[in-house]
């Protein structure tokens, strides 16, 4: 989108945030990173985005300091993309979007449920734990499948994400 050019004159933190995460596919890449996806091929399989776009988005997110690209194996050389602290701080944005989609867009069953891993309570509308009355960090959230989820997705990443799992735990589609 080349947002930097067009939103530059906007005197607004929202516009500045959208310059970074407002492009097509970008927030879905970040969402998958929270779900534990780390590798190019897994993002590709789960998102269905064109390869060139995915490569551009990953690079832009690394440049923006949202993702960190790091070598996890030397031979053959393989890199993975991991959320930085700045990327982890995007969780409230994803939560707010998901909560709005669940509450305001009719005609669908719940896709995924999010629980406070420590106590098992399902998170409230603001992403907080109603039992502990405190905000819950992404690392302390357990994701469980809902009734609206396709029980047999075509891609291996989607299948691996059917199991209850904690956010941010690295995904291994082959092991599922």
Partner DNA sequence: CTCGTCGGTTCGGTGATTGAACCATGACTC
Partner DNA sequence: GAGTCATGGTTCAATCACCGAACCGACGAG
Give the x-and-dash track for 114-153 against DNA (CB under 7 A): ----------------------------------------
Instruction: Give which of 138, 149, 140, 141 is closest to 112, Cα–Cα.
Output: 149
| Cβ 141 vs Cβ 31: under 8 Å | no
Least distance CB 117 / DNA (angstroms): 28
Residues listed for the chain: 176
Locate 28 and state its tokens.
């879905």
Pick one of 18, 56, 64, 99: the residue that binds DNA (CB under 7 A): 56
Give the x-and-dash track for 64-103 against DNA (CB under 7 A): -----------xxxxxx-----------------------
Locate 135 and state its tokens.
């905000």
Which segments of the chain are extended strands (E)?
67-73, 78-83, 112-116, 128-129, 134-135, 141-145, 165-166
Question: Among residues 156 and 158, whose Cβ is nearest to a second copy?
Answer: 158
Angle between helices 91-104 and 26-35 (to 10 degrees): 100
Binding span for DNA by CB under 7 A among 11-19, 39-47, 84-92, 104-112 = 39-47
Contact set with DNA (CB under 7 A): 1-2, 6, 23-25, 39-41, 48-53, 55-56, 58, 75-80
């Amino acid at each position: 989108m080349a947002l930097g050019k067009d939103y530059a004159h906007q005197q607004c933190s929202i516009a500045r945030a959208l310059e970074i995460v407002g492009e097509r596919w970008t927030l879905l890449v970040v969402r998958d990173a929270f779900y534990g996806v780390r590798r190019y091929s897994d993002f590709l399989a789960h998102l269905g985005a064109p390869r060139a776009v995915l490569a551009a988005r990953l690079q832009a997110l690394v440049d923006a300091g949202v993702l960190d690209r790091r070598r996890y194996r030397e031979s053959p050389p393989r890199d993975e993309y991991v959320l930085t602290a700045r990327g982890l701080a995007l969780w409230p944005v994803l939560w707010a979007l998901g909560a709005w989609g669940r509450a305001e867009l009719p005609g669908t069953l719940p896709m995924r449920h999010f629980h406070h891993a420590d106590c098992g309570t399902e998170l409230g509308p603001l992403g907080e734990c109603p039992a502990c009355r405190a905000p819950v960090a992404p690392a302390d959230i357990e994701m469980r499948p809902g009734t609206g989820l396709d029980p047999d997705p075509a891609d291996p990443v989607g299948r691996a994400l059917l199991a209850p799992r904690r956010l941010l735990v690295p995904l291994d589609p082959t092991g599922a």
